[in-house]
Amino acid sequence: MVRRRLATVEAGLNLHSWLATGVVVAIAAILRLLGLSGPKGKIFDETYYAKDAYGLIDKGVEWNYKDNGPSYVVHPPLGKWLIGLGEWAFGYQDAETKISVPGHLMTTAPEFGWRFSAAVAGTLSVLLLVRIGRRMFRSTALGCAAGLLLALDGFHLVLSRTALLDIFLLLFVLAAFGALVLDRDARRRRWAGALEAGLDPGAPGPAGRPAGGWRNWPWWRLVAGVLLGCACAVKWSALYFVPAFALLVIFWEVGVRRSAGVRRPWRDALLDELPWLLLAGVLMVVTYVATWSGWLLTDVGYYRDAARYPNSGLSDNPLWNLFKYHQAAFDFHKQLDDPHKYQSWPWQWLLLGRPVAFYWSGAGSCGAPTCASEILLLGTPLLWWSFLPALAGLAWLGVARRDWRAGAILLTVAAGLLPWFWFALDGRTMFSFYAAPALPFLVLSVVYVLGAIISPAGESAASAEQGYDRRLFGGVIAGAYVLLVALCFAYFYPIFVGQLLPYDGWSARMWLDGRWI
């Protein structure tokens, strides 16, 4: 009877958490889908990715319809395949090459077709962050706060409404992290169950470990390998997260063995888990290669057929030619140092030092002598200017509390940002949207600090009333912060979606006018 009551309470709490999650996700979806067809035409790098996506859907490879030949591209195909799914479903149009095809599901404005998949990916990433935050912080309120902050971030909103690759990279990296968090919980439950059943962790060999069998395989870890393969198949920069996530697995496995009383937790963790990590790595590589299936199964792609590219070192082996293609793309990235109007350096990104203008127009009637319409890839300022102090607080609290959550967030943020500091030494051309996959973890750092304000660890419970007052005060502070972020987002919303404003209204939003214009 007691177990049944506990199960009923848990089911009720879970239902409430999913209802709260649904509200946050609905807000994110409305913001990302409303008016998605505007502005008209291809903006910023949509001119490349929307065209490449249609080529993949039409011919299996990126295709230059103007010259009637394969396109040379330097990013893997998965993100463009996903953009192409929206074009397949809702239609595609290109004025330059006079291509106009209806959608297979329904025909809409062509812009909706090539932006739809990005909007879905952005909405899904909000859903994932809510559930990951809830699992990590054991709080529905904090999980929903994390999702809401991401939903109300202008940087995330603009990427979710534009046919670029970075929102898909963010989604797959976040999903892989979520799979590893689930893997951590599953492995700890496995050890706890074995200890309750009488396992002696000091026994040598298999006798000192939980029972094996395919049911106890680290399935979520293998799922993470597949998801990381998908992330790498969007952009190669996902590779920076691979060693970070492998370290997380090892640290977590050492931690559970140490808690269980294993004599040599490091040695046992490495011996037991390295084979599974290697298998996850194999799945990552297989997944990555599988996303090139259009290129492999046809012979019209760039560098696919040796006869068409003499003196290029190609052969009749498609995998070898794929390697040569990657070699050429890698050489391109190494030489990418041409100056650009909107380039920025990594130390500017969290300070919003140089956002990227995706679209600008002064045409239209707004009831003022001059008007302006812009889509600016700008993070919600109050949120982004909170990231650096939040990371400092996270580091201090993580050390003080010896909290695995703080370490996981910091390590993942480092994987998303620090490699770019190294490339900056060579003068590589970079843009603020390179920080996209680190964004959800930066939001988690803010929410971690908010959680510490609401309920400090080791809080003295001199009385229930005193503890309640402290939590209430912390909750008011956290709620006020989220509300201020929402108000800040609402103020800048017009320049996130390209609304036509009086010129003075647009200029008033250029807080760092020398940097934001």
- For residue 130, the one-letter residue type is V
List, for residues 80-101, the tens digit of each pLDDT value: 999 999 999 999 999 999 999 9
pLDDT exceeds 70 at position 517: yes
Burial 326-338 (b: 16+ CB within 10 A, else e): eeebeeeeeeeee
Q: Does 463 have pLDDT greater than 50? A: no
pLDDT at 461 over 70: no
User: Please, which residues have CB within 8 angstroms of residue 487's CB and are 6 or more apart in sequence?
Assistant: none
Q: Tell me the two tokens of residue 93.
A: 């149009």
Query: Where is 193: in which H helix or E strand?
Result: helix 166-196
Question: Two tokens at 64?
Answer: 């230059």
User: Which backbone phi and psi does 104 adopt, to 5 degrees?
Assistant: -80, -25
Average pLDDT over residues 476-481: 95
Nearest CA among 358, 376, 363 for reference residue 503: 363
Residues in the chain: 517
Ranges of each domain in the chain: 1-302+336-364+368-515, 303-335
Q: Is residue 14's pLDDT more than 90? A: no
Q: For residue 203, how many other CB atoms are within 10 A of its CB?
A: 12
Note the pLDDT tens digit of each residue in 130-187: 999 999 999 999 999 999 999 999 999 999 999 999 999 999 999 999 999 999 999 9
3-state secondary structure of 462: coil
Q: If 0-12 CB within 10 Å is exposed, 13-18 middle and 19+ buried, where does residue 340 land?
A: exposed
Q: What pLDDT, on the 0 to 100 scale, is given for residue 13?
A: 57
As a whole number, the mean pLDDT across the chain is 92
3-state secondary structure of 104: coil
Amino acid identity of residue 366, one-letter, is C
At residue 112, the pLDDT reads 97
Cα torsion at 198, 203, 205, 209 (round to 10°)? Answer: 30
Is pLDDT at 5 greater than 70 in this prediction? no
Quote the DSSP letter at residue 91. Answer: E
Residue 231, Cβ density class (10 Å: 0-12 exposed, 13-18 middle, ≥19 buried):
buried
List residues bridging with 501 in a β-sheet: 372
Is the pTM here over 0.75, yes or no?
yes
Give the span between the Cα atoms of 11 and 357, in whole angstroms.
47
Instruction: Identify the three-state secondary structure at position 277.
Output: helix
